[in-house]
Amino acid sequence: MVLFPNGKINLGLHITGKRPDGYHNLETVFYPLPIRDIVEIIPSDHFEFQASGLSINVDPDDNLCTKAYQLLKKDFPQLPDIKIWLHKNIPMGAGLGGGSADASFLLKLLNDKFILNLSTNQLIQYASQLGSDCPFFIHNSPCYATGRGEILEPIQLDLSAYSFVLVYPGIHIGTAWAFSQIKSSPPTISIKEIIQNPVSNWKETLKNDFEPPVLNHYPALKDIKENLYQSGAVYASLTGSGSAFYGIFPFKPTKIDTLFESYKCFVF
């Protein structure tokens, strides 16, 4: 069986406070985009994980797909041995949630293939043990997220009339470093309220707290955002803790590859 895990972008991201457990509370809106990896499971006489595509600098035993399988195997020992084949297309360390998507989609794939009869809420509970944004990919529809990103409220948000451009500059930004650069503060207006306004109004109000420290540390990335706006984007931002940027366009942009020829670009 094969599934095609998709990535996501963050529409705004605000760090609201540090928690006693050392994590941070935040608010954001997760929005799915059709940039996809490929996950396939194949019958095998022993468990095996294999990857192709973009290089994954993680030991196979530490890959989230392996951890997802082991998490279910602990509670469902009848799960047979399988080979997991993962083809990476979603850049890592980019703020697009590719690893989280792979693991969550694998949970759904195993549930369906081996008839585990897990409900959506049960799948979300398993996903939350793998990563803060993993539960989103069980929903895989626009959600307002709070807590560490695992508390999700589905929202009505349809941006299908717009085109998206993703620009990945090839820089891996560590999440721990990014959070260490932030001084948390309560929001003056919730992102949930801001995104109810027209997209053309977001430029002045919808912010990502990670963007200033990331741009300060990597000043060359400032040109990406500026070029997205100069190309006609009505809104442009860093996604997650970066390093990918996205632009939302009211038309299908052209010559993007020429404009960002030094970087990897995706147009949807």
Catalytic residue flag (residue 133): yes
Using alpha carbons only, what angle is made at residue 253 by residues 96 and 139, rounded to the nearest 5 degrees? 30
Q: Answer for the pair 70, 133: CB distance below 8 angstroms, yes or no.
A: no
DSSP per-residue letters across the chain: -EE--EEEEEEEEEEEEE-TTS-EEEEEEEEEEEEE-EEEEEE-SS-EEEEEES---S-GGGSHHHHHHHHHHHH-TTPPPEEEEEEE-SPTTSSS-HHHHHHHHHHHHHHHHTT----HHHHHHHHHTT-TTTTHHHH-S-EEEETTTTEEEE-----TTSEEEEEE-S----HHHHHHT------SS-HHHHTTS-GGGHHHH--BTTHHHHHHHSGGGHHHHHHHHHTT-SEEEE-TTSS-EEEEESS---SHHHHTTTSEEEE-
Catalytic residue among 8, 108, 207, 225, which? 8
Angle, alpha carbons 196-200-203 (nearest 5°): 90
Catalytic-labelled residue, pool 37, 102, 133, 209: 133
Catalytic residue at 59? no
Contact 266, 253 (CB under 8 A): no
The residues annotated with a catalytic role in the active site are 8, 133
